[in-house]
């Protein structure tokens, strides 16, 4: 998810495909007002890595990745009609 130092056969192609899919999803979400206007595909790995790191950091005994994910999603939420969904 972003490291240019690691190269496995086919990984560049897979990363490009994944980036294209994520870009389309984010562009649709931006257009719908569901996420903030400045969110791009480039920000996705940062968000994902942050939440994933919380999943495995348990040395302090207070790892709450679900709360981290909720805060992250709230931080990228837009102001349009698609942003007013409540969690179930």
pLDDT tens track for 3-53: 556 666 778 888 889 999 999 999 999 999 999 999 999 998 888 888 888
What pLDDT does residue 87 have? 47
Q: Is residue 2, in this structure, part of any structural domain at all?
A: no
Q: Is residue 3, in this structure, part of any structural domain at all?
A: no
Average pLDDT over residues 65-80: 84
Structural domain range at position 74: 11-79
Determine the Cα–Cα distance for residues 57 and 19; give it in Å rounded to an integer: 27
Is the pLDDT reported for residue 72 higher than 80?
yes
What pLDDT does residue 56 have? 73
Q: Is residue 84, in this structure, part of any structural domain at all?
A: no
Domain count, the chain: 1
- Residue 2 φ/ψ region, left for φ over 0, alpha for ψ in the -120 to 50 degree band, beta for the rest: left
């Amino acid at each position: 998810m972003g490291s240019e130092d690691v190269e496995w056969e086919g990984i560049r192609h897979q990363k490009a495909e994944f980036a294209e899919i994520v870009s389309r999803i984010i562009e649709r979400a931006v257009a719908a007002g569901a996420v903030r206007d400045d969110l791009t595909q480039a920000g996705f790995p940062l968000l994902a890595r942050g939440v994933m790191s919380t999943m495995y950091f348990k040395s302090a005994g207070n790892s709450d990745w679900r709360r981290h994910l909720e805060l992250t999603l709230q931080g990228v939420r837009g102001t349009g009609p698609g942003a007013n969904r409540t969690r179930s």
